[in-house]
């Protein structure tokens, strides 16, 4: 049986040096990494964040925009990223389908798990956008939920760092990488691998979360093939 994985990219990951919008060169790079997986017979689902465009908490910070509306704006942002990702994957010759948890019939298929599974079985990459479709959640939680629903063997969180550290490695030179930790450790020590809702859901469903650096070429395939040298795993 083919392996099925879900890869989560933050919206920020798509932004270029100025931290905003979509850098097509980054999309192109991601397209190559995903193609490598598909070429190796792996079924791939993708969840993308929207932080490069709108993040609900930030947009609602001064009280002018209500949090619920700001969160809907954030979810729409993930659809924008999804449209771009679908194009980038097809540019590489892959077959991709964008699904959305908030209906937008002209743009994307509605999220239907059975349909998504069918696409995956046919070798299509499925991009799950609009998060969970509900405000007050994150795309990390959406990724955990979708990974569980499609029965993925792992959720890979593709970030800018090569794993989970006891403190921010960008700020502290003595930060120590934690190669393996339990869900409870991640929750109790407030190690922000993902938000608590996402970790609790992963724990309930025994879904391993792998955190790795998306900028290390070939890393996704290595991890799926069992080489955990350049990542952290929460299980």
If one asks whether residue 12 binds ligand UDP (CB under 6 A), the answer comes out as yes
Does residue 129 touch ligand UDP according to CB under 6 A? no
The answer to whether 13 and 26 are in contact (CB under 8 A) is yes
Q: Is 131 in the site for ligand UDP (CB under 6 A)?
A: yes
Buried b (16+ CB within 10 A) or exposed e, 152-169: bebbbbbbebbbbbeeeb
Q: Which whole-number Å values give the CA distances from 66 to 60, 62, 135, 138, 146, in the listed order?
A: 6, 9, 11, 17, 27
Identify whether the C-beta of residue 123 lies closer than 8 Å to the C-beta of residue 95. yes
Q: Rounded distance, CA 54 to CA 9, Å?
A: 15
132 touches ligand UDP (CB under 6 A): yes
Selected from 6, 22, 37, 75, the binder of ligand UDP by CB under 6 A is 75
User: Contact between 82 and ligand UDP (CB under 6 A)?
Assistant: no
Q: How far is the CB of 24 from ligand UDP (least distance, A)?
A: 17
DSSP 88: H
Per-residue x/- track, 29-68, ligand UDP (CB under 6 A):
--------------------xxx---xx------------
Task: Tell me the three state secondary structure of residue 183.
Answer: helix
Residue pair 155/147 in contact (Cβ under 8 Å)? The answer is yes
Pick out the residues of the known binding site.
8-11, 50-51, 55, 71, 132-139, 159, 165, 168
Pick out the residues of the known binding site for UMP.
50, 71, 132-139
Give the footprint of ligand UDP on this chain (CB under 6 A).
10-12, 49-51, 55-56, 70-71, 74-75, 77-78, 131-132, 134-135, 137-140, 142
């Amino acid at each position: 049986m083919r392996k099925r994985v879900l890869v989560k990219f933050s919206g920020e990951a798509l932004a270029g040096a100025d931290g905003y919008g979509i850098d097509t060169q980054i999309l192109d790079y991601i397209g190559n990494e995903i193609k490598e997986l598909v070429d190796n017979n792996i079924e791939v689902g993708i969840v993308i964040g929207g932080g490069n465009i709108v993040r609900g908490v930030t947009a609602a910070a001064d009280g002018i925009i209500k949090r619920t509306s700001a969160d809907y704006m954030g979810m729409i942002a993930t659809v924008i990223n999804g449209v771009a990702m679908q194009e980038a994957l097809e540019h590489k010759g892959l077959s991709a389908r964008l699904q959305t948890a908030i209906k937008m019939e002209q743009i994307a298929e509605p999220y239907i798990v059975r349909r998504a599974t069918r696409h995956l079985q046919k070798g299509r990459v499925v991009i799950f956008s609009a998060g969970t479709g509900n405000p007050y959640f994150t795309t990390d939680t959406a990724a955990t939920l979708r990974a569980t629903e499609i029965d993925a063997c792992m959720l890979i969180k593709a970030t800018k760092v090569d794993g989970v550290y006891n403190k921010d490695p960008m700020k502290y030179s003595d930060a120590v990488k934690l190669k393996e930790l339990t869900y409870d450790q991640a929750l109790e020590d407030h190690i922000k691998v993902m938000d608590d809702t996402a970790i609790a859901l992963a724990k309930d469903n025994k879904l391993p979360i792998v955190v790795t650096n998306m900028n290390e070429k070939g890393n996704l395939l290595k991890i799926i093939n069992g080489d955990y040298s350049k990542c952290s795993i929460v299980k």
